Amino acid sequence: MDGRESAGRTGSGHRSVPHTADLRVEAWAPTAEGCIGELVHAVVGSFAELGGARIVGERACTVLAVSDPDLLAGVLEEVIYRMDADGELPAALALGPIRGLDGARSIEVRFRMADAATAALVGAVPKAVSLQGLELAAGPDGWTCAATVDV
Amino acid sequence: MSEVEIALTEAGRHRWRIEPHPPMRVPGVVFANDALLPQAAGDRALEQVANVATLPGIVRASYAMPDVHWGYGFPIGGVAATDVEQGGVVSPGGVGFDISCGVRLLAAGVGRDELDAERLRRLMDLLDRTVPRGLGRGGLWHLAGPEELDDLLLGGARYAVEHGHGVPRDLERCEDRGVLAGAAPGEVSTRAVERGLQQVGSLGSANHFLEVQAVDRVHDPETAAAFGLRPGQVCVMIHCGSRGLGHQICTDHVRAMDRELHRYRIELPDRQLACTPVDSPRGRAYLGAMTAAANYGRANRQLLSEAARRAFATALGVGLELVYDVSHNLAKLETHEVDGVARRLCVHRKGATRALPPGDPDLPADLAEAGQPVLVPGTMGTASYVMVGLPGNEAFSSACHGAGRVWSRHQALRMVRGERLRAELEAHGIAVRPASMRALAEETPQAYKDVDAVAAVTEAAGLARQVARLVPLGVCKG
């Protein structure tokens, strides 16, 4: 397994796990929002090194979904969309609290964006998020999440 | 995710059957020998074959080609047909995220014996500099804006040729003459348009590539000649799809169908199988958007062909003639006989290639007697195949689409270093131009099934016949 794993899974962390053709990543954190942030770091870190990349500004968005797992997919899809449409990748992100809204779920996200053209490519580039095996749930030791990303 | 045990029974030579236990509506049929059956720990492709058999309106069987492996919803290497008039569904997961991902083969006016190491290096360096791939937005064609993209979504490779990117003969050697009818750009979301606008003429990453190859062995000289191939001939194989636009269309429509399943009382074992009746507003909307993406994929490969032609002309002073261009991620409305009755079917091929037999009316005139070329890319270290469709193919005239993965990317990275792999390939005379060393390691030839075995089993199972075996000389890896 690759990734940033804390001892006993008590803090925050992420790792990639085997999937035959694509990228499967898992993350854990004390909060659901922290868990989504960890997964974004896991996915971006799987294909781009942003250490020397040029920061180009901030972007904010509100992601809406029917469930917490779909909210996770929505945030990842926002990252992929910004990469393709604007050539930007998040060097950092801040997530507001997940809110319930008329039966839906929403979260506000602020990205600190880097110019993707100045990033170092280190892996296959993600293009979509599968609904299969999409997870975000509370457990006895905090929150865990997982997603399979098409590359 | 818990695993489900799937029981296979042998049902003929290289043919296995999964009995149709409820909620399966038809059996599963897997074409493979013992070695090609999905065996990697955690590979759930056979469970996915069984899941596909639950789709409303599915007929005959849920099929798996010899290169089958784990996908999402559908397995990669899966074929399923639904009866449109019997409430049959269309499932974007049965097409895949990369709509109209496919393969194009071009034959060069030069033989392998005329291409020494220095000429090959010069050619590969030129391709390396001029074929966009990996991370970034820069495609070869800078479209004026969304309106011009709409024209391209309607016109496909034909639109590209009409604008100077290729020659009319190219269209004769493209599936559907380069343009699939029925595209509905209005069903393509703004996000999909934004993602696709700057990527026309780019390879992408992962398993996509542009490879310089040579014809290593000809199994069927007459058919090879009809295709335009001869022993020792240098070729170019291009594998790519509809980039961010196709992925966004799949994402948008899977989400919409997932929300509307209750409307048609559809119950599914896997959310990624989300579907809707073909004959419904949502079904028609998806097929219109999918067709637009198919045309984008064909135009994309047409642009990359032009980049290859420029490089061959500059480095070697020779041209490239299109052998064939075929999609292996697509759903098409086709008429097939089922239980003695001609029926209108929605045939999903996900990681599977249409394989028309000799005499099929959809073939271009110069291939009518030979049959349709079936392009089977292998790996950058082994081989690729050109096959031809056969009559009597029970899987709705479908065949394999590649070698099929057996290792996860994760496992490949643990076992292989990109720098070492590159050195090994170069030592075997294969010039490698990777987008990144890690991405190269993920695509190590060991991560795939034995393509020679896949081609042999495909032929023995009656799906397609081997025509020529190609070996790599140089690869631009996405």
Query: Taking the domains of chain A in order of start, what are their residue ranges?
Result: 3-150
Mean residue pLDDT of chain A comes to 93
The pLDDT tens digits for B313-358 are 999 999 999 999 999 999 999 999 999 999 999 999 999 999 999 9
Closest CB to B435 among A84, A121, A134? A121
Closest CB to B438 among A17, A81, A123? A123
Radius of gyration, CA atoms only, chain B? 21
- How far away is chain A from the Cα of B317, in angstroms, using its nearest Cα? 33
CA torsion sign for B52, B53, B59, B60 is positive
pLDDT number for residue B324 = 98
Residue A48 touches chain B, beta carbons under 8 Å: yes
Average pLDDT estimate for B418-434: 96
- How far away is chain A from the Cα of B62, in angstroms, using its nearest Cα? 19
pLDDT number for residue B41 = 67
The distance from CA B455 to its chain's CA centroid, rounded to whole angstroms, is: 15
pLDDT number for residue A6 = 46
pLDDT number for residue B457 = 98
Are A147 and A25 spatial neighbours (Cβ–Cβ below 8 Å)?
yes
Chain B CB contacts of A1 under 8 Å are 410
Specify the DSSP class assigned to residue A83: H
Task: Give Cβ neighbours of residue B163 (< 8 Å, ≥ 6 apart).
Answer: none
Average pLDDT estimate for B190-207: 96
The token duo for A17 is 């796990």
Chain B CB contacts of A83 under 8 Å are 135
Nearest CA in chain A to B97: A128
Beta bridge partners of B102: B240, B327
Closest CB to A119 among B69, B76, B135? B135
Element containing residue B346 per DSSP (H, E): strand B341-350
The pLDDT tens digits for B275-308 are 999 999 999 999 999 999 999 999 999 999 999 9
Kindly determine whether residue A81 and residue B40, on different chains, have CB atoms separated by under 8 Å.
no
pLDDT at residue B43 above 90? no
Average pLDDT estimate for A63-86: 97
pLDDT band at B2 (very low <50, low <70, confident <90, very high): low
Q: Give percent of chain B with pLDDT exceeding 90.
A: 94
pLDDT at residue B136 above 90? no
Task: Give Cβ neighbours of residue A43 (< 8 Å, ≥ 6 apart).
Answer: A23, A25, A76, A79, A126, A147, A149
B348 catalytic? Reply is no
The CATH number of the structural domain formed by A3-150 is 3.55.10.10
Strand residues in B193-311 grouped as ranges (E): 209-218, 233-240, 276-277
pLDDT at residue B1 above 70? no
pLDDT band at A5 (very low <50, low <70, confident <90, very high): low
pLDDT at residue B421 above 90? yes
Are B471 and B219 spatial neighbours (Cβ–Cβ below 8 Å)?
no
Predicted model pTM? 0.96
pLDDT at residue B27 above 80? yes
Q: Give percent of chain A with pLDDT exceeding 70.
A: 93
pLDDT at residue B442 above 60? yes
Residue A64 touches chain B, beta carbons under 8 Å: no
Kindly determine whether residue B194 and residue A127, on different chains, have CB atoms separated by under 8 Å.
no
The token duo for B58 is 């599915």
